[in-house]
Structure 1
Amino acid sequence: MLKTLAYALLLIAVLLSVGLAAAWLYLRTPDRPAAELERRYAGADDHFIELPGGLRLHYRDQGDRSRPVLVLLHGYGDSYATWEAWGQALQDRYRVISLDLPGHGLSAAPADYLLDADALAALVVDVATRLGLPPFVLAGNSMGGGVAWKVALLAPRQLRALVLVAAAGWPAHTQGQSPSLAFRVLQHPIGRWVLARIDNKPLIAQGLKAQVHDKGLITEAVVQRWADYQLYPGHRTILMSAPPGSHSQATAEKLAAIRLPTLVMHGEYDPLIPVENSRKFASAIAGARLITYPQVGHLPQREIPARSAADLRAFMDTLR
């Protein structure tokens, strides 16, 4: 009886091991060639700039070069593509530059590159200097917003104004679980190790739909593009090196030093970053204007592109 039970348990263990091995072989996905992704997604407005440390940053540059400049920074795991509607809506009166941060979109970086908000802020300043940009409006969503307010502290003379769209930075004071399964997995080292080696398309779809109020906006094409960019060489390793929320350093005292015209935007449905955080930004930065959107989640630039772009245009039109 005991021998039979032992054999049965051994058989179950073997079958489980074989099943897990088969699942791993099925899910494990290699990087895709950079040239292939660039051929598929880059167009006439897309450019690359070589930087020290093995960085080759991609950016989309739209509108007349003589017009006032707007620079856009995406969030964690996102890309310049999140700003496409804004670029189309604003390029008639502004030069719109949407930048891919290292480990995102079509920007190349060494696989050991560490995502650090202070380093990314310095990188944005360097890129702006190399491109010869005059003082510009800087806007960022989520992680990109966290980088944007750090740029405002690091190099205020290079900016005309600051725009924070559901910006990261305030420490989390709750222990509630993220609605995104991927973000929950990212909190664990083994989870990050696995995500760095598989095609994360199913998790991307679930995570994006969790971030928005209108789930229909997250189409197959949107998900596929996110997934393709994660398969750019080295991107998954870079993304897993710094899970979301690992650079929460904002304080009212720090932000009080920002003396730029500032617009703060936030969807009231946002399940990732509480709208209260944007109220804190608006309170801490003197003269900041806050706009919140009912039934809008974490990505106003995707969810209500016409309305959010119009609000941004109205704000920028007041600048002198």
Structure 2
Amino acid sequence: MTDIIQRYGCASEGSKFLDLNGIRFHYREFGQREKPTLVLIHGIVDSLHTWELLISHLKDNYHLVTIDLPGFGLSDIIPIDDDMVKSIVDHLNDAFKELNLSKFHLVGNSLGGLIAWNYSFHYSESVDKLILLSPGAFYQKFPWIFDISHPLINKVIRKTGRFSLKHLIPLTGPMVPGLVYNFENLSYIRQQFRRIADLMTCEENFENYINILEAAYHYDFKDSLKIPEIQNEILLIHGRKDRVIPMEPQVQKWRRLIPGLKVLNPDDSAHMPQWEKPELLSREIKKFLSS
């Protein structure tokens, strides 16, 4: 883990580590504390590095906090129980308290979006506005490539192990249908898949990633019953080309449950708008937060 921390947890790039009762959290802060705070939460098998392009557009206007979810990136895993989402939310709340974050806007992508709106439901007093990027929310069938519980896929992953995945992820990641659509930043996108492969396949992380993926695949989506009770103003950004969490019927269900929901559906964006459209994303975030 020392090598991977040196590569992806450099203090010179803003990395800091927080110890909460023996659980290590990796986080970074940018901008000035007196400005409005945005906390950004990444998606599954991702890490806080996913926000780099967006940060460059927002750090002059906001105090930004990015954090690795438990079990991903350089943060320690927490016990996987029957209510994994609530457990993650509670651990994040402890981390935010330790960082003296009392009121902030919350941004989440994919699994991070699911965590963000659940956090808003449970700790609404801490959240101002909520920005969700292709968030998990309602029942769906995920593309087969994400089905770690599938006997064949599970066998291949566990038999071929982390060394094969380290080379496969950078090759196959860009080809996953509807994960990335706009390849204007192709070299950057390839770099992101290499980073994901490095962090996922390091010896200390590999089993954790696989176990969380298995648990996530069996998530029952019952938390969606809480959505009508969310009190925070929401901006939902969902790319039309997303096939990981397809825009419809997801957006339609959100509209039905949240009157006055603000929705943006970029035509040439899929599941990772922070990679594909950071300029557009930053403009829409600034517009929403200043309204």
TM-score range, shorter chain: 0.7 to 0.9
Question: Which residue matches 1:94?
Answer: 62
CA distance in 1, matches of 2:185, 2:90: 34
Question: Which residue matches 1:209?
Answer: 175
Question: Unaligned 5+ residue runs, structure 1?
Answer: 1-33
CA distance in 1, matches of 2:40, 2:205: 20
C-alpha change, 1:272 and 1:195, in structure 2 (3 Å) is: farther
Residues 1:292 and 2:260 aligned together: no
Q: Which amino acid aligns with 1:247?
A: Y
Question: Which residue matches 2:204?
Answer: 234
What is the CA deviation profile of residues 90-147 of structure 1, one whole-angstrom value per residue up to 9, with x for unaligned ones? 111111111101221222337x656921111111211111111121111111011111
Question: Which residue matches 1:108?
Answer: 76
Q: Which amino acid aligns with 1:242?
A: I
Alpha carbons 1:168, 1:245 under 8 Å: kept: no
CA distance in 2, matches of 1:250, 1:292: 25
CA distance in 1, matches of 2:18, 2:203: 17
RMSD: 2.3
TM-score by length of 2: 0.87
How far the C-alpha of 1:209 sits from its partner, in A, is 3.4
Alpha carbons 2:183, 2:276 under 8 Å: kept: no
Question: Which residue matches 1:63?
Answer: 31
Given the alignment, which residue of 18, 22, 37 partners 1:49?
A: 18
CA distance in 1, matches of 2:119, 2:139: 19
Given the alignment, which residue of 236, 240, 260 partners 2:232?
A: 260
Residues 1:160 and 2:132 aligned together: no
Q: Helix, strand or coil for the counterpart of 2:238? A: strand
Residues 1:225 and 2:195 aligned together: yes
Further displaced range: 158-167 or 192-201: 192-201
Given the alignment, which residue of 162, 187, 202 partners 2:150?
A: 187
Question: Which residue matches 1:246?
Answer: 218
Residues 1:137 and 2:100 aligned together: no
How far the C-alpha of 1:306 sits from its partner, in A, is 0.5
C-alpha change, 1:251 and 1:55, in structure 2 (3 Å) is: closer
How far the C-alpha of 1:253 sits from its partner, in A, is 4.0
CA distance in 2, matches of 1:314, 1:113: 38
Q: How many residues align structurally? A: 278
Identity of aligned residues (%): 27
What is the CA deviation profile of residues 234-270 of structure 1, one whole-angstrom value per residue up to 9, with x for unaligned ones? 3221121132443242566421100101110111101
What is the CA deviation profile of residues 50-86 of structure 1, one whole-angstrom value per residue up to 9, with x for unaligned ones? 012x321101110001111100111110111111111
Question: Which residue matches 2:278?
Answer: 305
Further displaced range: 211-220 or 157-166: 211-220
CA distance in 1, matches of 2:118, 2:243: 24
Q: Helix, strand or coil for the counterpart of 1:212? A: coil
Q: Helix, strand or coil for the counterpart of 2:3? A: helix
CA distance in 1, matches of 2:136, 2:201: 25
Further displaced range: 236-245 or 96-105: 236-245
Q: Which amino acid aligns with 2:263?
A: L
**Larger Rg belongs to:** 1
CA distance in 1, matches of 2:195, 2:70: 17
CA distance in 2, matches of 1:120, 1:156: 16
